[in-house]
Structure 1
Amino acid sequence: MSILTVKHVRKVYTTRFSSQQTVALEDVSFTVQAGEFVAIMGESGSGKTTLLNILSTLDRPSAGEVWLGERSLTSIPERELARFRHEQLGFVFQDFNLLDNFSVRDNILLPLVLAGTPEHRLEPALLPIAEDLGIAAQLGKFPYELSGGQQQRVAVARALITQPRLILADEPTGALDSRATGQLLEAFSHINAAGQTIVMVTHSVSAASAAGRVLFIRDGRVFHDLYRGAQSRAAFQEAVMHSLTLLGREGLHAD
């Protein structure tokens, strides 16, 4: 069953003081099935960040449609967007976006608290996620007391706490060393195996190879769509690298 449908999306930016236009997305169409883990790759300026912003409802397309299940994202009134994001989407950012004056527990629970969740339901929602992500022992600490990898897993826990239909991750391994990257990707794989749908923008071949499918964006269009299938992760990583030679390697790395 398709959970995310993108149909002929086009995005054009017009400069503020002239009529000059920049086409960020030309004609993007694809679907994501419920329970998929999809990585989006492309050179800098290819349009992948613009696409993620449109999927997250932070920006609107100039043309085309985006659907989450039966809901058209392009028709949601502006006044309802914040509530929609809170209830349907989970976000993981490169720079974690944690509040340093909040404990790990409070950072994770913040979305539920803002939604008015009864206090007796908070800990039962928190503990299984914290244990699955290996951060249960850090709940009483503050973000600045944690490693980068631990902070990113706290951010993942915060994204999961509302049980979103879709997790959107923007370069989630970009600020992590190789060990922390491996731990985070293992966590993503575990979360995905439990049924969570994930769409991740990344420059990293290693990160992309943890997904079950990679979409390659070039010049505002979907250039290639690569499925992992029964391949090992190592074999899939080689396939991703091969596809990147067709795109051009500028701005991409194998970390």
Structure 2
Amino acid sequence: MEQPLVLHTRSQILQQDERGWNFWQQVHEAQSRNADETSLIICDMWDKHWSKGASERVDAMVERVNEVVKTARARGVQIIHSPSDTMDFYAGTPARNRVQEAPNCALPNIAEERAHIPLPIDDSDGGSDTNETEPAWVWTRQHEKIEIDQTCDGISDDGHEIYNFLEQKGIHNILILGVHTNMCILERSFGIKQMTRWGKKVLLVRDLTDAMYNPAMPPYVSHEKGTDLVIGYIEKFWCPTCLSTDILPASEIS
């Protein structure tokens, strides 16, 4: 039997100090998850992005992502590749068929009261920090350095399909990584907001993500700080986060 995943999670809750002043308190917990009840979703790690900065940061991240994917798979975690808008590239493959063929499930109807909470960054300009202003559809597939195991992985960019597949497998826990934290990670039909609404226990792998944020926009901080602000927003209002070091063996941690 596979050893359970021990995930060191971080969330934030609003507290009051001894003087009655509000502050956000980080909460750290060690949580155990059965690998065979856990899925890792790779969100929109495309081969190319319309923003040069976004592409370069994915390129810098992708080898680490692949190591996490391989290790999680070996430990019994269900891998789901979700490069949105590229399903034609994978049509007819075993991993694509595997998700499409899962029995259809009725979706939970869970009330949501958090959708109105605004992001801490202004991404209304598209979020590119390398001065591109016109988004374009330039991606064709998932980044080639992320390996897909056609014998066991799944491929889908559709939340209902993925929910069906998770239910078929008895999977209740989701780890999600990829890009972009303030957009697709939160808002896709398989993203944090929707999966949380459907009752799944979601964790963001916070060191393997990136935001679409331009430092020329409010709150006028560095790109890295903008990403940190979005991660903090997720920890406060949507789900805890963890690190990839919880998945990788010590020998692969650098």
TM-score, normalising length from structure 1? 0.33
